Amino acid sequence: MEVEMKIRGLMMDPVTNMPIVILKDSSSDAVLPIWVGVYEANAIALEIEKVTTPRPMTHDLIKNVLTGLDTQVHKVVVTELREDTFYAVIWLERNGKVISIDSRPSDALALALRVDCPIFVEDDVLKNSKLASNVSDRVTSEELRKWLEGLNDEDLGRYKM
């Protein structure tokens, strides 16, 4: 089963200093932090903040190519968590044919923001995610979950490009 989620924001991991995309289920308190690379976080932040660049960035190029090929992005789905690595699929449609494309979640999320399509996470991923995988031993999974759920808009605005 897929759970629809929204990007709640970007923040920096206080321990590893790596960017984290925070996904939140709009109908519950479920949150899913996904650690991403700096360049991918920048691509997501540019779209969240509606910053235009003089030339198309990679995800803008992908959007333009798909539009030029008359292809619609129906949804992106974070499908799996294997060995602390998330996997995603981008679902496209062209000429009535549905196509699934393997993707890193960060790229799928950056594209989803640009084409305004829904973001889903498989229920099993939510159940099996280890929230504290990249956090020091002194912070428990439950403490991290409470901290993430308690974030407000000001906390999520701390990510700077």
Average confidence (pLDDT) over 34-62: 94
User: What would the pLDDT profile of 96-143 be if each residue is shown by its tens digit?
Assistant: 999 999 999 999 999 999 999 999 999 999 988 855 333 333 445 556
What was the pLDDT predicted at 27? 85
Q: Which residues contact 14 (CB under 8 A, 6 or more apart)?
A: none
Q: Report, in this order, helix, strand and coil percent for the chain, each rounded to 5.
A: 30, 35, 35
Give the SS3 label for residue 126: helix
Please determine, for residue 150, whether its predicted confidence score (pLDDT) is greater than 80: no
The separation between CA 115 and the C-alpha centre of its own chain, rounded to angstroms, equals 14
In this structure, is residue 95 part of a structural domain?
Answer: yes
In this structure, is residue 139 part of a structural domain?
Answer: yes
In this structure, is residue 122 part of a structural domain?
Answer: yes
Model confidence band, residue 50 (pLDDT cutoffs 50, 70, 90): very high
Number of domains observed in the structure of the chain: 1
Q: Domain of 71: which CATH number?
A: 3.10.690.10
Find out whether 86 and 78 touch, Cβ atoms under 8 Å. Answer: yes
For residue 100, give its domain range. Answer: 2-156
In this structure, is residue 161 part of a structural domain?
Answer: no
Average confidence (pLDDT) over 54-76: 97
What was the pLDDT predicted at 153? 62
What was the pLDDT predicted at 89? 98
